[in-house]
């Protein structure tokens, strides 16, 4: 239902303004007049959504606001007063958003409709769950589920980031040390060998070539690295499906486990919140993070809309998961089954992630050791030969 902004005068002749939800311009006029206000100007609010944040808003703040809103409503605080209290706790953009929602609520808009005016802050699944909660009269429970889901999603992302920080740091430090050795240290050492008339071992000649090449063409390496980054970003933007298809073939199974975790967690959450299965599939397809799986879920959605079962419509998903979904459909407990499956996938993902990191760390150390051993051997061999000649 559209939202209209209006300015007018009340019965005392004082100027007033606000927002109201109505089916159209005429309906808005009637609703405003029933409030004892004589409208002067009525304009439909922009439906494309407001973009207040200059960068992506923090999901952690949204989770905190959602949980506090659930607590306020469960304590019997009216919705408008709850947003008034929440806005007083926030600053900057978040405060403006909460005040804008409060104003829309005061004008008669539903909470879901008021939040849809800020799509960059409240995702589609969020507003969809709010709408379902308002329809079923279980808004407090839905808000609590939303807070739990957002916090779990944040924790999952933090696990991945935390696990990759140390290996990434080690890799960057190793590359920096190797470049420093080949560019500044090795040339000073090998200059002694170049000035001597003795023939050098092949390994030392290779070391000299690499050092001279890095020192002379370092700019070319930087240019190639920059070009690779630009090319990767362009492919990811234009043909992301190619990259995602390769990621699905990950031999370790870590990424597939992550995608299935996201699918089961989001699908189970949305269905337990009262969303119809077709809407839940639409929103879940975007949450997987893989365009190939997204297309498969949307294709399955089309089959489900024609009367097919979910377990028989999904292609390319693990057979075990499809059997679990089929069991959930037969027993009528699909949301609960999916949530339990998500817990299982999360435990398995944590185990595989830790195992992968535990293997990656010694691999990096071994690679660094081989490079250092190569340098030491290339430097010491000609020294030993010179000693033998003397």
Q: What are phi and psi of 39, to 5 degrees?
A: -70, 140
**What 3-state DSSP class applies to 252?**
coil
Quick one: pLDDT at residue 46? 46
Q: Where are the domains of the chain?
A: 3-44, 59-122, 149-390
DSSP 19-54: EEE-SSHHHHHHHHHHTT-EEEEEEEPPTT-----S
CATH pick for 59-122 out of 3.40.50.300, 1.10.3720.10, 1.20.81.30, 3.40.1480.10: 1.20.81.30
DSSP at 183 = I
Quick one: pLDDT at residue 202? 86
Quick one: pLDDT at residue 52? 54
Quick one: pLDDT at residue 108? 81
Quick one: pLDDT at residue 50? 52
What gap in Å lies between CA 289 and CA 178, rounded to an integer? 35
Domain 149-390 part of CATH 1.20.81.30: yes
What gap in Å lies between CA 125 and CA 268, rounded to an integer? 12
Which neighbouring-strand residues pair with 3? 21
- Residue 153, judged by CB atoms within 10 A of its CB (0-12, 13-18, 19+), counts as middle
Each of the 390 residues of the chain gets a pLDDT tens digit; together they read 556 777 888 777 788 877 776 666 677 778 888 888 888 787 765 444 455 555 567 888 999 999 999 999 999 999 999 998 998 888 888 888 898 898 888 878 889 988 988 888 898 889 988 988 888 888 999 999 999 999 999 998 898 888 888 888 888 888 888 888 888 888 887 777 766 666 778 888 888 888 888 888 888 888 998 999 999 888 878 888 888 888 888 888 888 999 999 999 999 999 988 889 999 999 899 888 889 999 999 999 999 999 999 999 998 899 999 999 999 999 999 999 999 999 999 999 989 888 888 888 888 889 888 988 988 888 888 877 766 655
Residue pointed to by tokens 């933007």: 237
Quick one: pLDDT at residue 54? 52
The reply to whether the predicted model has a pTM over 0.85 is no
Number of C-beta neighbours around residue 92 at 10 A: 9
Order across the sheet with 3-9: list the strands. Answer: 15-21, 3-9, 38-44
Same fold, 59-122 and 149-390: yes
Quick one: pLDDT at residue 47? 43
Closest CA to 17 of 3, 32, 1, 27: 32
């Amino acid at each position: 239902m559209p939202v209209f902004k209006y300015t007018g005068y009340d019965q005392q002749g004082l100027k007033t303004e606000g927002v109201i939800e109505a089916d159209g311009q005429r309906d808005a006029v009637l609703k405003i007049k029933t409030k004892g206000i004589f409208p002067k100007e009525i304009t439909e609010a922009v439906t494309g959504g407001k973009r207040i944040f200059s960068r992506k808003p923090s999901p952690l703040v949204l989770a905190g606001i959602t949980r506090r809103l659930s607590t306020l409503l469960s304590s019997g605080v009216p919705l408008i007063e709850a947003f008034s209290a929440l806005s007083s706790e926030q600053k900057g953009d978040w405060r403006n958003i909460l005040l804008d929602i409060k104003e829309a609520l005061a004008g008669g808009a539903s909470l879901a409709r008021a939040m849809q005016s800020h799509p960059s802050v409240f995702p589609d699944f969020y507003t969809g769950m709010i709408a379902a909660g308002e329809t079923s009269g279980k808004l407090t429970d839905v808000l609590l589920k939303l807070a739990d889901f957002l916090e779990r999603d944040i924790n999952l992302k933090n696990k991945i980031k935390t696990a990759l920080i140390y290996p990434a740091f080690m890799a960057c430090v190793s590359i920096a040390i190797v470049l420093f050795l080949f560019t500044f240290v090795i040339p000073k050492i090998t200059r002694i060998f170049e000035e001597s008339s003795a023939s050098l071992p092949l390994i030392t000649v290779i070391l000299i070539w690499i050092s001279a090449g890095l020192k002379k063409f370092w700019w070319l390496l930087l240019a190639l690295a920059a070009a690779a980054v630009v090319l990767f970003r362009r492919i990811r933007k234009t043909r992301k499906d190619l990259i995602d298809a390769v990621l699905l073939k990950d031999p370790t199974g870590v990424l597939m486990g992550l995608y299935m975790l996201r699918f089961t967690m989001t699908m189970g959450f949305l269905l337990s919140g009262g969303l119809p299965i077709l809407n839940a599939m639409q929103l879940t397809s975007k949450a997987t993070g893989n365009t190939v799986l997204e297309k498969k879920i949307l294709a399955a959605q089309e089959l489900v809309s024609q009367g097919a079962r979910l377990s028989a419509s999904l292609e390319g998903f693990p057979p075990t998961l499809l059997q679990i979904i089929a069991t959930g459909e037969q027993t009528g407990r699909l949301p609960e089954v999916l949530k339990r499956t998500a817990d299982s996938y999360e435990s398995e993902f944590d185990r595989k992630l830790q195992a992968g990191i535990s293997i990656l760390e010694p691999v990096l150390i071994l690679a660094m050791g081989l490079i250092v051993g190569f340098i030491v051997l290339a430097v010491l061999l000609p020294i030993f030969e010179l000693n033998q000649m003397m």
